[in-house]
Amino acid sequence: MGRQVRAEVTRESVLQGAAAVFVRDGYADANLGDIIEEAGVTKGALYFHFGSKEELARGVIDAGYLRFVAAAASKMDRRSPALETLIDLSVLHVDMSDSDPVVRAMFRLLFEIGDYRGTEHRPFEVWQHSLEELGRRAAEEGDLVDGVDVHAVTLLILEQGMGARIVANALKTTERLAEQTGALWRMTLPALVPAGKLEYFQQFVERRLRLPS
């Protein structure tokens, strides 16, 4: 194994170990000793890649963000109706948080360390822009009621999704995020979707979330 490959493997081990500790303990209570032990690396190896706990946390944010963006791009590239894609992205937010500890840590750290502009990327700005583009497409496709304020609606979807995660972390009920996402759509769809299409999109939400109707 070449030196560069070994360095990348070590860096990935550090990120995985850090993600596990940040998810378990939160940023404030996480310590580098626990991260080193979880990652199975030496102190020198960790500091070779990251100079501080904050730098490491921002590295986890960037890594989790790129993983989430890659998964989201695969859904946005499909030629599905835009409102279906909006729903799919809200489900992806739940599913990837459950299956990928780096993504789960990314979401938690975004709220806990503040100043996300300090990272390489600007997640909230990118997400707001992407959702708004989908909202405009959904309106053009006739899947939103006439006169809907697309900017306000898509910003509300982002705020409610992120807010649900903050509350779930605080109350230690992250296993209920799928249920909360379903509740969000059940409450908002009747105000957004023309009456003739409402049942279809309500059923689409239940199928995607695999929740009982």
Cα distance between residue 48 and residue 171, in whole Å: 36
* Residue 176 included in any domain: yes
Contact 17, 40 (CB under 8 A): yes
CATH number at residue 133: 1.10.357.10
Domain tally for the chain? 1
pTM: 0.86
pLDDT of residue 2: 64
* Residue 8 included in any domain: no
* Residue 39 included in any domain: no
H or E segment and range at residue 4: helix 3-29
Range of the domain at 67: 58-209
Torsion of CA 127, 132, 135, 139, to 10 degrees: -170
The one-letter code for the residue type at 173 is T
Cα distance between residue 189 and residue 153, in whole Å: 11
HSE-CB of 167 using CA atoms within 13 angstroms: 10
Cα distance between residue 79 and residue 92, in whole Å: 17
Cα distance between residue 165 and residue 205, in whole Å: 19
pLDDT of residue 175: 82
* Residue 31 included in any domain: no
Q: Which residues of 9-22 are buried (b: 16+ CB within 10 A; e: fewer)?
A: ebbebbbbbbbbbb
Instruction: Please write the tens of the pLDDT for every residue from 2-12.
Output: 667 788 899 99
* Residue 75 included in any domain: yes
Cα distance between residue 132 and residue 128, in whole Å: 6
* Residue 40 included in any domain: no
Task: Tokens for 77, please give them.
Answer: 């590239």
Low-confidence ranges of the chain (pLDDT < 70): 1-3, 78, 115-120, 211-213
Cα distance between residue 183 and residue 157, in whole Å: 12
CB atoms within 10 A of CB 116: 17
- Contact residues for 113 (Cβ-Cβ < 8 A; gap 6+): 27, 54, 57, 58, 61
